Amino acid sequence: TQLLEQSPQFLSIQEGENLTVYCNSSSVFSSLQWYRQEPGEGPVLLVTVVTGGEVKKLKRLTFQFGDARKDSSLHITAAQPGDTGLYLCAGATGNQFYFGTGTSLTVIP
Amino acid sequence: EAGVAQSPRYKIIEKRQSVAFWCNPISGHATLYWYQQILGQGPKLLIQFQNNGVVDDSQLPKDRFSAERLKGVDSTLKIQPAKLEDSAVYLCASSLVPDSGNTIYFGEGSWLTVV
């Protein structure tokens, strides 16, 4: 069972464009994390959100946690080739974490 | 602060052989996870330990995979015998109790190729 669905699964854009990645679930999470993973490496934490409706900004990245704490989005402004990678959301509920299906982003120079 | 350590980084074995991966979590992290990740997909939880007890191993193929965390710190994941479809990255991760605001930290992964 996949608790967290991400969309789109693949995204290829030109440098300078904006994009949004979605992470959706029917389950409520106590917190949600976003990770970026580059080829040959483990996932690296970008942000943790814990409050419904919370918005966090990390330079050109904006993260939002849904009011009902069931979904989240990641928006990247003016994408750069260095943003290329696999983006993963992960939700914590009870004593477990559940990972999303992943979004593979390619930013073309 | 030292991160999650894993070894070996890369391993190539023939099908039906065995392999073992080792993980040392971040100091003080009671929860340890082993994930299997197929290229381009999200990680799939194989087993979760809380100290030296198993919290969830529902997706661990127990006929060929085994894992232990005897002293509540280091852990090993073993595959015997390996199949071609076991080719993947095996990620170890650790966290404090998976409560609100706590985060999973990952190692760099152990890349397994079964030929």
Q: Is the pLDDT of residue A23 over 80?
A: yes
* B99 HSE (CA, 13 A, CB side): 5
Chain B residues 71-100 with a CB less than 8 Å from chain A: 91, 93, 95, 97-100
Chain B residues touching A94 at Cβ < 8 A: 98
pLDDT of the residue at B99: 61
Instruction: Give, in order, the Cα–Cα distances in Å from A21 to each of A7, A10, A49, A87.
Output: 6, 10, 15, 8
- Phi and psi for A83 in degrees, rounded to 5? -80, -10
Determine how β-strand B110-114 pairs with β-strand B10-13.
parallel
In which residue ranges of chain B is pLDDT below 70?
A: 1, 98-101
Chain A residues 33-92 with a CB less than 8 Å from chain B: 33, 35, 40-45, 48, 50, 86, 88, 90, 92
pLDDT of the residue at A92: 85
pLDDT digits (tens, 9 = 90+) for A72-96: 999 999 999 999 999 999 988 877 7
**Among candidates B44, B48, B106 on the partner chain, residue whose Cβ is nearest the Cβ of A43:** B106
- Name the residue in chain B with its Cα closest to that of A42: B108
Percent of chain B with pLDDT over 90: 76
3-state secondary structure (DSSP) of residue B111: strand
pLDDT of the residue at A1: 53
Chain A residues touching B95 at Cβ < 8 A: 97
Q: Is the pLDDT of residue A34 over 70?
A: yes
